[in-house]
Structures are given as C-alpha cells and as structure tokens.
Structure 1
C-alpha cells in the first residue's frame, strides 16, 4: 500500500516552518507516530509509525546518497547548498533545501519543493508544488500541474535533466 503521509504532512510542515522560522523544531505526528518532525538542529525525521527515515541537519544522510533518502515510493532531498542527482523512477519527491542544485532524471510523480534559491531540473513530473522563494524549476518534458505557494519562483520547460 502506498503512503502519502510524508508528502502531505511534509507540505504542511514546510509551510509551518517557513512561517515559524523552525527555530525550536516542529513535530507533526499523529497518535501512531506517523508524520514528520524537524528538530532545532535541522534533523528531519519522516515515518509512517513503523518505519522511520532520518536525515541529519549537517547534510550527512543516514542510508542515503548525496543528501537524498530513497525508498521504493519516495525520494526525500534535504541539503543546504548541496548538489543531488537522482533517478526519479516514478516516485514522489520532497525537496527541503536552500541554495541547492537538484537534478531528478526520468519520470517523477508529485515533486514538492520548499526553501529558497534552489535550482531543480526534472526529467518530467505529473505535478510540481513550490513553496518558499526564488526557486527555479525546469522540466525536460511533459506539462505538469503547477502549484506555486511562494514568491519569485519560476517553473518552466528546459533544464538539464533527462526525461
């Protein structure tokens, strides 16, 4: 069964983090422990109540590659100023970053981008949701549904990702 909790809750957390400044951390979990939390050091934890994925705030991921944690259904990218290249493989993607360069080759499902000053190149995506400011998103093919909840963001065809 596919779980959309990390994507949905992640979007809520990101909006809350932008509004609250995320200084003391945020914990949005249900009574079963499913949800997302960000501590004061920037460590991010996402889980469904049984399985937990974590990324440390220093950009060093646990069981990940280049600032990304990849599961069968989801890619979580968390890096500030880093560079991440991943194959989407029809997964949904959460990018929580500032000043990052992210290349997602192939076909993506929902791509959610939060933070500021990110450069994101997508092979293709069914939907792109951008929060934060001054993010640039390019897609190599397709015509994704775009939701822009920030300011100064650009989402348009082009970029360096392969479809």
Structure 2
C-alpha cells in the first residue's frame, strides 16, 4: 500500500503586492483552475476539457483594515502578488517537517473592499482579485503554471498549451 504524506495545519502566511508586505496571517483563497470544456456527441453527450484554456480565475485576500497594506493592494492596475506559507507535513515514519509553499499571481483588484466597522471587533475586509497568471510551488517544486495571456498551461512538468501554440 502506498503512503501519501499527510498535510497538516498552516503555521503562518504572508502576502506581498509588488514586493511590499501587505498582510500577515491573512485568510487567502487561491484561484480554482477550471478548464473550459467542449461537448462531443458520442453515444450521448460527453464533456471533455480543452487543456489550453481555463475559465476566469479569482483569488481573495482578507485584509485587516484600511492600512498601508490595503492601500497598496487596492491600487488600480495589474500587480504581482505573492503568497507564502509554512505548513506541517507528517511522513509515514511518524516524523513531522515544515514545508514552505509559494503562490505567484498576476492580478488586478476587482473591488475595493467594503469596510466593516463595529466597536470592539477586528476588521476583516475581503479583497477580490482577477487573476491571469497563477503559479504554485510546494517545497520548492513547481506544481503548475497557468498563464492565460502567454498561453502557458503547465502541470506536473507538461505544458499542455505548447502543442496548440506550435500549430498557430
């Protein structure tokens, strides 16, 4: 029976916009990558993914409030966003280690968050980002790179977009 490492809790994270720290220990939701699909008629309808195209990607970052980090993050235009986090991983021999993860995105703010102001409560303001490039590294190894503007759709070392680009 094969063993998969068990990924544990995230210990801490940081968020950077254009190289400047904008948040620590924030709630971050990275983009879901959903391939565009095509319907084929084959003994009924079969839906298959088109590997070189994905639906619009979106990420969210919950910011603490109207501070210097929020000011940097909501500036209109395209930004380089980096999310770093450390998480615990349990191996089959019972040892635990901390693994570093990094996500790199090219993103544009879709909204300026509404502010929640309540006496005695900390502010949580969700910034929504439209993402056109998303790359994920886990423990120094690239998991995937999706770059919609440059036709790169690489996962597990295979670029599924290159075959399409070569034909054009």
Larger radius of gyration: 2
* Fold agreement, TM-score > 0.5: no
Q: Normalized against structure 1, the TM-score is what?
A: 0.28
More strand by share: 2
**More relative contact order in 1 or in 2 (CA 8 Å, sep 6+)?**
2
Q: Which TM-score applies when normalising by structure 2?
A: 0.28
